[in-house]
Amino acid sequence: MESRRIGRRELLGLLGSGVIGAGLLACGDEPAIVVSTPTPAPVATLSSTPRPATTATVTAALTVTPQGEVTLLRVIDKDRGGLARDYVPSDLVRIEDRWAVPGFAGQTMRAEAAAALVRLLDAADKSGTELRVRSTFRSYGEQVGTFQFWVDRFGEAQAKRESAPAGHSEHQLGTTADISSRNINWELLTPFGDLPEGKWVDAHAHEFGFAISYPRNGEAVTGYIYEPWHIRYIGTARAAEWKRSGMILVKFLEQMNVPR
């Protein structure tokens, strides 16, 4: 573990990348923080060699849930679906750094979601649309720090519109990614949705199993501002159903979780 002082601009970047742990020590405008080095994980890459397991087998491994895991379709919002303080997905893999926003290497997701994200980013590149990942899995402790940062910066009411309380962030699921583009300086800003890159994500993310969690004009339902950069993996079949339904994701997931 390495302790050093950083400025607020770098702090915002570290929070977005998921590098910072929970321990923020207030110290004027330049807090001293503890920066932890992530444990190396397997790397998710594109491969022309078929995997031994079929897609259906891999999907079942995530959806049936080993003991202690959560499902792809879990409803999680400000009030429901809270994740345990110590919950970390057991199958996190590292996404190749070439797919990361500059300065945000070391991103990890659950294996199936990571492979799907790499396919999405590669397909975008081949279409002439440059997209990169800025933030993926975030632990409970990291979310404590992230949420408190926004509280300190904007106050609690605004923070609740822009960030989830610890235990209620989709990022802790390990199936969620924030993506951006060079044309918006790799930031996470609502104008991304009106850029060609954001429009590509809106039109094609579901083809790779992803849904946009917090759509335009959805705050009354989700409790969060429009986040065109925030995509959650729910599997290709369900994502296709979600897209056809026209529903806000949390409402679609509620419907999927109704006992039958």
We report the CATH number of the domain holding residue 157 as 3.30.1380.10
Q: Answer whether residue 25 is part of any domain.
A: no
Phi, psi of 219 (to 5 degrees): -60, -35
Domains identified in the chain, total number: 1
Identify the residue with better confidence: 246 or 22. 246
Q: Is residue 201 part of a domain?
A: yes
DSSP H helices in 67-139: 111-126
Domain that holds residue 92: 41-256
Listed residue (249, 242, 184) closest to 214, CA to CA: 249
Q: Does residue 160 belong to any structural domain of this protein?
A: yes
3-class state of residue 211 by DSSP: strand
Percent of the chain predicted with pLDDT > 70? 73
* Parallel/antiparallel/unpaired status of strands 2-5 and 32-35: antiparallel
Confidence of residue 260 (pLDDT cuts 50, 70, 90): low
E strands, the chain, are: 2-5, 20-25, 32-35, 43-44, 92-95, 108-110, 132-135, 176-180, 210-212, 230-233
Counting residues of the chain whose pLDDT is more than 90, the rounded percentage is 70
Tell me if 14 is assigned to some domain: no
The whole-number pLDDT of residue 46 equals 59
Question: Which pTM was predicted?
Answer: 0.77
Distance CA 216, CA 229 (A): 11
Mean pLDDT of the chain: 81
Q: 137 and 171 in contact (C-beta within 8 Å)?
A: yes
Residue 174 in any domain: the answer is yes
Asked if residue 107 is part of any domain, the answer here is yes
Q: Is residue 6 part of a domain?
A: no
Q: Is residue 232 part of a domain?
A: yes
Better-scored residue on pLDDT, 28 or 107: 107
User: Are 227 and 176 contacting, i.e. CB atoms less than 8 angstroms apart?
Assistant: no
User: Per residue in 153-200, pLDDT tens?
Assistant: 999 999 999 999 999 999 999 999 999 999 999 999 999 999 999 999
Q: What is the pLDDT of residue 47?
A: 42
